[in-house]
C-alpha cells in the first residue's frame, strides 16, 4: 500500500517538506496530538512531490498523458488563441489532478517547444469547465518531427497557487520527459488535432508518461476500441 509513496521526491519539494517538518516540531512541543497531525501533513507533503520513474511507450505517433489524474472531459472545443495552433478547433482532453496524485508533468510527445504562454488568472476549482479560461495557467505548443502541432496547458486550481516550468521555448523534448509541476491540486488540458481519435474516455485514470491518449497516425476508432 505504501510502496507508491516510498519514491524519491523532486527537488522542488524539499523546501516545503522542510517547512512542514519544522512546523510539526513546534506543534509537537505544544501538544502530542498537534505533533501527530503535523507528522501526517508532512508525510502528505512528501508524497505530493514524489517523482517516480515511468516507462514511456515507444512510438513516434503516440500521445501520452502529461499528468496523473482522472479524465474529466473529452470534447471538441475552440482552441485558445494563446496556443497559436493552425487548427482553430481541436479535441480537448481534460485531466484533473487531486492533491493525492503525482504532480510532476511530462511532455505528451516528442518535438520542439515552439510556444510558452503564461496567464496570471484566478483560482477556481480546477474541475470546472471555466477554469480553462479564467484560472492561472501556462500553455505550451509543441511541434513534432513531422510538423504536427499539439497543445497542452497547466491550469492552477482552488488550492494550487504556483505553476512551475522546467523548460523554455526552443527546447527539444522526448515523449515522457518532465517539463513542470503544479502545486497543490490542479488540471491539465491536452489539445489534439480534431481528426485524431482519442483513446481514452471520461472517468479513466491517467498515468503521466505512460497512458496513451491518442495515436496521431490513427483517424478512427472502431466500436471495439481497435485503431483503424
For residues 172 and 101, is the Cβ–Cβ distance under 8 A?
no
| Residues in a beta bridge with 179 | none
In whole angstroms, give the CA distance from residue 78 to residue 103.
Answer: 27
Residue 184 is predicted with a pLDDT of 67
- Select from 97, 103, 106, 95 the least CA-distant residue to 64: 106
Which one has a higher pLDDT value, 164 or 65? 65
Residues 6+ apart with CB under 8 A from 182: 97, 103, 105, 154, 155, 156, 157, 160, 162, 163, 164
C-alpha dist (Å) from residue 164 to 36, 135, 155, 167, 168? 30, 15, 11, 9, 12
Confidence of residue 92 (pLDDT cuts 50, 70, 90): very high
Answer yes or no: are the C-beta atoms of 15 and 4 closer than 8 Å. no
CA proximity to 126, closest of 75, 103, 93, 160 = 160
What are 40's three cell numbers? 501526517
160 Cβ contact list (under 8 Å, min separation 6): 123, 126, 182, 183, 184, 185, 186
Q: Could you state, in order of their start, the residue ranges of all structural domains in the chain?
A: 11-48, 62-215
Q: Which of 69-73, 93-97, 156-160 has the lowest mean pLDDT?
A: 156-160
Catalytic residue IDs: 186
Q: Which pLDDT band, with edges at 50, 70 and 90, does 129 fall under?
A: low
DSSP-assigned letters across all residues of 9-57: B-GGGHHHHHHHHHHHHHHHHH-HHHHHHHHHHHHHHHHHTB-----PP
What gap in Å lies between CA 146 and CA 110, rounded to an integer? 10
- Reported as a single tens digit per residue, the pLDDT across 167-220 is 999 999 999 999 998 876 688 999 998 888 899 999 999 999 999 999 988 655
Architecture of domain 62-215: Distorted Sandwich (2.70)
Q: Report the alpha-carbon distance of residue 31 to residue 25 in Å, rounded.
A: 10
Amino acid at each position: 500500500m505504501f510502496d507508491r509513496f516510498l519514491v524519491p521526491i523532486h527537488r522542488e519539494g524539499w523546501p516545503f517538506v522542510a517547512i512542514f517538518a519544522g512546523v510539526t516540531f513546534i506543534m509537537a512541543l505544544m501538544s502530542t496530538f498537534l505533533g501527530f497531525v503535523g507528522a501526517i501533513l508532512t508525510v502528505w507533503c512528501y508524497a505530493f512531490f514524489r517523482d517516480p520513474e515511468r516507462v514511456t511507450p515507444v512510438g513516434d505517433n503516440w500521445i501520452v498523458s502529461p499528468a496523473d489524474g482522472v479524465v474529466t472531459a473529452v470534447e471538441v472545443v475552440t482552441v485558445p488563441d494563446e496556443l497559436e495552433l493552425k487548427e482553430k478547433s481541436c479535441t480537448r482532453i481534460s485531466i484533473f489532478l487531486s492533491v493525492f496524485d503525482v504532480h510532476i508533468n511530462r511532455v505528451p510527445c516528442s518535438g520542439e517547444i515552439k510556444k510558452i504562454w503564461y496567464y496570471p488568472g484566478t483560482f477556481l476549482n480546477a474541475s470546472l469547465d471555466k477554469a480553462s479560461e479564467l484560472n492561472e495557467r501556462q500553455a505550451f505548443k509543441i511541434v513534432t518531427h513531422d510538423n504536427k502541432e499539439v497543445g497542452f496547458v497547466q491550469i492552477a486550481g482552488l488550492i494550487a497557487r504556483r505553476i512551475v516550468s522546467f523548460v523554455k521555448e526552443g527546447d527539444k523534448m522526448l515523449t515522457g520527459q518532465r517539463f513542470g509541476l503544479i502545486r497543490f491540486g490542479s488540471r491539465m488540458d491536452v489539445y489534439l488535432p480534431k481528426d485524431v481519435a482519442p483513446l481514452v474516455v471520461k472517468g479513466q485514470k491517467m498515468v503521466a508518461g505512460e497512458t496513451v491518449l491518442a495515436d496521431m497516425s490513427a483517424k478512427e476508432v472502431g466500436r471495439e476500441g481497435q485503431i483503424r
